[in-house]
Amino acid sequence: MPCLGGVAPSAGHFDDAATTTRAPSRSAFRIERERDVIRLTGDLRLAHAAPLWRQLCAATRDVSGAIAFDLSQADAIDGSTISLLMDLRAELVARGVHAEITAAPEAFRPLLRIYTAHPPPPRDGRSARRHPIEHLRDLARGARAEITNALDFLGNMGVALAAIVRDPRLGYWKSVPSHAEHAGADALPIVLLINALVGFAMAFQSAKQLQLYGANLYVADLVGISMTRELAPLMTAIVICGRSGAGYAAEIGTMKINEEIDALQTLGLRPYNWLVVPRGVAMLFVLPVLTVMADFVGVFGGMIVAVTDLDITPVGYLIETQLSVRPWDVATGLIKSVVFSVAIVGIACQQGFATSGGAESVGRRTTSTVVTSLFVLVFLDSVLTVIFRIFHV
């Protein structure tokens, strides 16, 4: 039985092949406790695992504060004994007791390092209770690290762009068409479908209210201005953010953890010139084109409602759209799409270069790319809308 409510250790879990010895072992072990120190002597191997566990449980039943395990007088130790001590330490930590191994012969220390490399997890699977100040400290450190990564990325991008302006041959322009095809042509069906449905839904939701005032024809004004100024660039950017932005972060992040970026630097190539600039150029071209096409399909989606539900002819709807939508309305959407493309590529590539560790970090950075990009897109859209309104354009 576990001594403190945990899971009893199983003798089959231990590997006796990992035995480390210092001298011929005696036939027994001994446990002595002196205040906050428990001294283990003798043969501490798998053959004595069961009685050793029982005596350790008895010796630590009333422990509080801190306790240390002294192995300096042990004759033989194997993985089973260390596993028992780690299991007991986890139970003691769950009780609020600080437990550690303070002394061990030099011959046993490599084995100890294997088993004591990580702190014990809480017994109930929940995170250990921490003071709120510690949470604030961790948040501050995380924020500082993210700001540092962002500033480092901006600095490297500035250097890369300056170098390309001086010598355009430093850019990896051959990859621009493939990036444009992936972000543009491959994304075209979903972009057109979503924007057509948005135009349809907007017209359908406003149809009843317009009918009340006999203003059926003005559905063309509503859909046309809303799509060109606001919804087409924003919805297109959101689709590209979740599709291409996340892909950029995952690709660069995978290259980072596989040390492919280090390999580029070893070959004398500049990673930002090869990985970021081509994607940015492709996105600067693709997103405005997709936005213009989204304008057309959004107007078409509204026309379906106007023809089927509001008794408006297709010609009448298109003429009213032409009269209400000015060239500047389309231009404001294109300006937004350019700003959105810079934001999407910048955030995605920055998160990719900030990846460290393994596959978990790639997934975390990809998720962060989508969440951060969505927030920034909506924020930039609001700022640009206010700017255009202030200047009455």
List pLDDT tens digits, range 137-153: 878 888 888 888 889 88
Cα separation, 199 vs 299, in Å, equals: 6
* Angle, alpha carbons 365-162-254 (nearest 5°): 20
Task: Name residues whose C-beta falls within 8 Å of residue 124's C-beta, 6 or more positions apart in sequence.
Answer: 94
**Residue ranges matching CATH 3.30.750.24 in the chain:** 11-115
3-state SS class at 69:
strand
pTM beyond 0.75, yes or no:
no
Residue 123: what are its φ and ψ, rounded to 5°?
A: -65, -30
3-state SS class at 203:
helix
Q: Which of 202, 163, 299, 286 is nearest to 236 (CA)?
A: 286
For residues 245 and 114, the model is more confident at 245
Domain 11-115: CATH architecture, name and number where available: 2-Layer Sandwich (3.30)
Strand partners, 98: 66
Report the pLDDT value the prediction gives residue 129, as an integer from 0 to 100.
Answer: 63
Cα separation, 85 vs 88, in Å, equals: 5
pLDDT at 18 over 50: no
* Residue recorded with tokens 């220390």: 109
pLDDT digits (tens, 9 = 90+) for 158-206: 888 888 888 888 888 888 999 999 888 889 999 999 999 999 999 998 8
Report the pLDDT value the prediction gives residue 191, as an integer from 0 to 100.
Answer: 94
For residues 174 and 17, the model is more confident at 174
Average pLDDT (231-246) is: 93
Range list of β-strands (E), the chain: 20-21, 29-34, 37-44, 66-70, 74-77, 98-103
3-state SS class at 214:
coil
Report the pLDDT value the prediction gives residue 235, as an integer from 0 to 100.
Answer: 95
State the pLDDT confidence band at 287, using cuts at 50, 70 and 90: very high
Which burial class, exposed, middle or buried, applies to 8 when counting CB atoms under 10 A from its CB (0-12, 13-18, 19+)?
A: exposed
Average pLDDT (43-51) is: 79
Residues of the chain with pLDDT > 70, as a percent, come to 88
pLDDT digits (tens, 9 = 90+) for 260-280: 888 888 887 888 888 899 999
Report the pLDDT value the prediction gives residue 120, as an integer from 0 to 100.
Answer: 52
Task: Name residues whose C-beta falls within 8 Å of residue 236's C-beta, 6 or more positions apart in sequence.
Answer: 191, 195, 287, 290, 291, 294, 337
Pairing between strand 29-34 and 20-21?
Answer: unpaired
* Residue recorded with tokens 């550690």: 100
State the pLDDT confidence band at 5, using cuts at 50, 70 and 90: very low
Pairing between strand 20-21 and 74-77?
Answer: antiparallel
State the pLDDT confidence band at 311, using cuts at 50, 70 and 90: confident
Cα separation, 170 vs 273, in Å, equals: 7
